[in-house]
Structure 1
Amino acid sequence: MKKTIKNSLRILGCLLIFISCDDYLDIQPEDKYLEETVFESEASVQNVINGIYIDLAKKSTYGGHLTMSTVDVLAQRYSEPTDNFRYYDLAQYNYGQSGVLDTFDDIWTNMYIRILNINKIIENLDVNIANIPSERLNVLKGEMFGLRAMLHFDLLRLFGPVYSVNSSDESIPYYNMATTDIQSLLPASEVIDMVLNDLNTSVDLLANDPVRTYGKIAVSEGDDNGNSATGFDGTSFYRFRNLRFNYFSAKALEARVHLYAGNAPEASSAAKAVIDEGLQWFEWVNPDDVISAGTNADRIFSSEVIFALQNVELYDRHDDYFDASINDNNILVTSEARLNEIFEGNLNDYRFAPNWKVPTNAAKTYKTFFKFQDVADSDLTFRYMQPLIRMSEMHYIVAETEADITIATEYLNAVREHRGLPSLDATLIDMPTELLKEYKREFYGEGQLFYYYKRNNMSAIEDGSDTSGQIAMDDTKYVLPLPESETAYRQD
């Protein structure tokens, strides 16, 4: 991997490799810039940062492997019953197979290249030759520190040990500077500390994020003379804050990290902070927008999404993974028996019927996945949104960490109420059982279920390739092997 990163850094020093021709929030990045030119104006800095978000939405990271495909296959989301199926080796945890190893290398290498690019931006923002006003500079830096934390954390969740039992085990390197010098593999607990340190920095820098005052879209456009009371000039770059790593993203990720690390009080506090302040902006989905909207159904519950990427390839990925035209051996699909088990046959659940249905073109006789199918109206604000963090997860975190079962159940029921399900009686439920059900239903195609299993060190999970039965789980399946490109260099 070092050779790849070194080449990337050398190129980055004169030609910024991460800028693409794709559009991200109405700003068109240029293909190439000399580094000193790129960072000498606020507009060009914005272009560079757009490139980071565009690259994060690629198939190699959050536009595929870490959401809809690889990580969900590891969670037994889909049926891969025989060795002629597309993801059979991955679903069987045959980590020694070349195709599986190539996938892991793709994730590892691309995530660290993104981290390298983020570090280069942070270093240049520290110098601030563009003379960006402090209130806007803090937003830009806050986003980058938050993204650096998120990428390292997800690498830890995949390649690190089962944290609840082996937190002191060697895990991954943490890169907090733009360097090609190989960094040590750190104990998982040290990585968590560094993630939380970056998140604390992000939260502080984003304290005056316009999302806290104006919500996810409506930043003041200024008066007729071009003045802006907010100091953000009303440009598109500082709007649509749910499509950038914002203040609430940082607090929500803080809750997620603390939960993973077993810090229940801190996880609960951070999650409640997001709910208490953020629910006014990230409101519950309107059922009519899901059930009655036809070809414009908001199947991702976009109003609740705290942080998403604008993935212009989202519907291509849907066609690659889930479209009914794909042959039976390549399509990602869950058996109807498993679907009925997961959703308990309840068609009133907004996450079931709109997302899973038999295609009308008769290409398949079984239900296929429609969550990320394109919508008819190209002007809808949620078009191309790839959800990464959502408000419902904050409720689940409080439900899991709240000592008072009555209060915990209230948070769980808040989600159920907005999914078309009846409330549960706190005196009659087993909270871990109900939370597991919710993670299975809520995060299809978003890559969170495998992490739930690993965090709880579950000894067995449902076999996605069978209509019943389970697969035994242990460290050999939960801990992905470091790619050979990484281990080979460390042996030199």
Structure 2
Amino acid sequence: MNQKTQQKRGRITILKFGYFVLFSLALIGTGGCSKMLDLPARDKFPQDILFKDEQGFIDALTGIYIGMDKPNNGPTEGLYTNNLTAGMLSIMAYNYTNASSSSASSGLYANASRYNYEDSGVKKEIAGIWAGMYNNIANLNNLLRHIDEKRGLFTRDNFYRVKGEALALRALFHFDLARLFGQPPLTGADAPAIPYITKFDIQTKQFVSLNMAVDSCIADLQSAKTLLSQTDTTALKMGSHDLFSSYTQNHMNYWATQALLARAYQYKGDHTNAIKAAQALIGSNKFPLITTNVASSSNTTRDRLFSQELVFSLYSNKVTNINNSLFNIPNTALTLAATNKDLIYKGSTGSATDYRYISWFDANTPGVNVPSKLFQDAKLPYFLQNNIPLLRISEMYYIAAESAGRAGDLGAALSYLNRVRVSRGLTDLTTTTVIDQEILYDEIMKEYKKEFIQEGQTFLYYKRWNKDLAAVTGTTVIVPKGAYVFPIPDKEIEYNH
């Protein structure tokens, strides 16, 4: 990183608001079994009113979950519902072979597929990601500033849940900012990455290194885990009359916090702690791998997401609109060419029996495969609707497999990897063909390509390994130097000066 870039990454100024501003706040206490983000909204309250009772804190936290969808701060597309999942990050991982020629979203995706971060549309989305994340973080810090002094307002285990989820979300947002705006960890762990902000004030915040940012994420997650362990961790709940405790798969719950810890430890290179965190999820048996193709088109109900495996998913009532804008536009839908689909799912150790190959694509016309993981089928049960996957149990098996491989235990590594493969309709790999660590890592990468299509994690996996993007994606565009690092938005640079 040159000196000018380091100066640009030197500090950030956070403004203090007289109001707790959220993009929308759900009215949660109105009964029924709806998901908490599925209800009417209110948008701005003075802090002394918002934090006067338990419900105000719950409303504030709900507003932050809503802010993970479409922040009202400039971007065209949704945050975790588009740019960081099925949209920009999936495009940059070459999940769709026609993105560079697609006219969808007014050329935004064509430019994203070329890693053209100077394009006005791409710059706007990157600036929106930065602003949206830090706005959410500011709101979390404001909530956390008030919650301890109001502990007596809370009933049941809600104090632990609200504070624990807030800390876990703060870690999630910072971690993803660090992965997007920081250098690849293999080459830039000590370079300035992002500010890690834990106070709601007007002080200028210095950028910290990638390593320091990830360490701070881990500290927040450990605190969150301790708090959330005081809540009901026996099962993820579905609908109930207490909306805040309903559909906890859509919360940064105790198990989601544990899963994010595994991901953060792995990104840092602490594979000893990564496998421990991953094993805790696997050993809990809360998220069993599927045993049949629940996404089959012959099923009355198609569970395309393998929902029982989702540790944390974001609820959004805009999923149908997102699908229509990305994958259901005549002649311009984002697609995966049949040859590329075959290469990913059938090549080498793959097979046409893979449930993902069979059921995650709709062939609207011969040879055209539209990724359909997020499609909302008719008669889909309510609890399966409108979910965006953010943390999966399959990733815990991949983390455990890589960590075991790094420790030299090839047999254990294959055991973890094979459990996912078999659950997807594939056969076991053996040490006869997977004879060393490098082949193991290559097999894990193949699984990331298959498993996380439309979820955004593949690009970040490539970045963690500092892979040659042209080689691993097969893109024909010229990949510019620095494609892995999102630029700091212009407005932030202006404020710093």
Name the amino acid aligned to 1:43: Q
Residue matched to 1:53: 65
Name the amino acid aligned to 1:342: I
Compute the displacement of 1:415 (Å).
0.3
1:66 pairs with 2:84: yes
What is the aligned residue count? 462
1:174 pairs with 2:225: no
Q: Is the 8 A contact 2:164 2:227 kept in 1?
A: yes
Compute the displacement of 1:296 (Å).
2.9
Residue matched to 1:443: 452
Name the amino acid aligned to 1:383: Q
User: Structure 1 residues 137 and 342 mapped into 2: Cα distance closer, same or farther (>3 Å)?
Assistant: same
Between the aligned partners of 2:161 and 2:211, the Cα distance in structure 1 is 28
Structure 2 residue matching 1:254: 3-state secondary structure: helix
Residue matched to 1:226: none
Between the aligned partners of 2:93 and 2:194, the Cα distance in structure 1 is 22
Compute the displacement of 1:21 (Å).
7.6
Residue matched to 2:388: 386
| Structure 1: segments with no counterpart, 5+ residues | 222-233
1:421 pairs with 2:426: yes
Name the amino acid aligned to 2:461: Y
Of 409, 413, 417 in structure 2, the residue corresponding to residue 412 of structure 1 is 417
With the length of structure 2 as denominator, give the TM-score of the two structures: 0.86
Compute the displacement of 1:75 (Å).
1.3
Compute the displacement of 1:111 (Å).
0.9
User: Structure 1 residues 378 and 421 mapped into 2: Cα distance closer, same or farther (>3 Å)?
Assistant: closer
Q: Deviations over 1:184-234 (max 9, x none)?
A: 111111111111110111111111231x22x11169x8xxxxxxxxxxxx7
Q: Deviations over 1:117-138 (max 9, x none)?
A: 1111111212216611473201
Residue matched to 1:327: 331
Compute the displacement of 1:462 (Å).
4.4
Name the amino acid aligned to 2:272: P
Structure 2 residue matching 1:67: 3-state secondary structure: coil
Q: Deviations over 1:292-334 (max 9, x none)?
A: 55463111111000001111111110111111x3433xx2222
Compute the displacement of 1:176 (Å).
0.7
User: Structure 1 residues 17 and 320 mapped into 2: Cα distance closer, same or farther (>3 Å)?
Assistant: closer
Residue matched to 1:456: 465
Of 253, 257, 261 in structure 1, the residue corresponding to residue 260 of structure 2 is 253
Between the aligned partners of 2:307 and 2:493, the Cα distance in structure 1 is 40
1:120 pairs with 2:142: yes
Q: Once superposed, what is the RMSD of the aligned Cα atoms?
A: 2.6
Structure 1 residue matching 2:312: 3-state secondary structure: strand
Between the aligned partners of 1:11 and 1:71, the Cα distance in structure 2 is 35
Between the aligned partners of 1:136 and 1:343, the Cα distance in structure 2 is 44
Between the aligned partners of 1:188 and 1:246, the Cα distance in structure 2 is 25
Structure 2 residue matching 1:183: 3-state secondary structure: strand
Structure 2 residue matching 1:347: 3-state secondary structure: coil
Residue matched to 1:303: 308
Q: Is the 8 A contact 2:101 2:110 kept in 1?
A: yes
Between the aligned partners of 1:138 and 1:469, the Cα distance in structure 2 is 47
Q: Deviations over 1:53-88 (max 9, x none)?
A: 122122431011000111111212222344867322
Residue matched to 2:52: 40
Between the aligned partners of 2:101 and 2:370, the Cα distance in structure 1 is 19
Structure 1 residue matching 2:317: 3-state secondary structure: coil
Is the deviation greater in 75-84 or in 121-130?
Answer: 75-84
Is the deviation greater in 428-437 or in 130-139?
Answer: 130-139
Name the amino acid aligned to 1:389: L
Between the aligned partners of 1:102 and 1:411, the Cα distance in structure 2 is 41
1:268 pairs with 2:270: no
Residue matched to 1:479: 485
User: Structure 1 residues 241 and 20 mapped into 2: Cα distance closer, same or farther (>3 Å)?
Assistant: closer
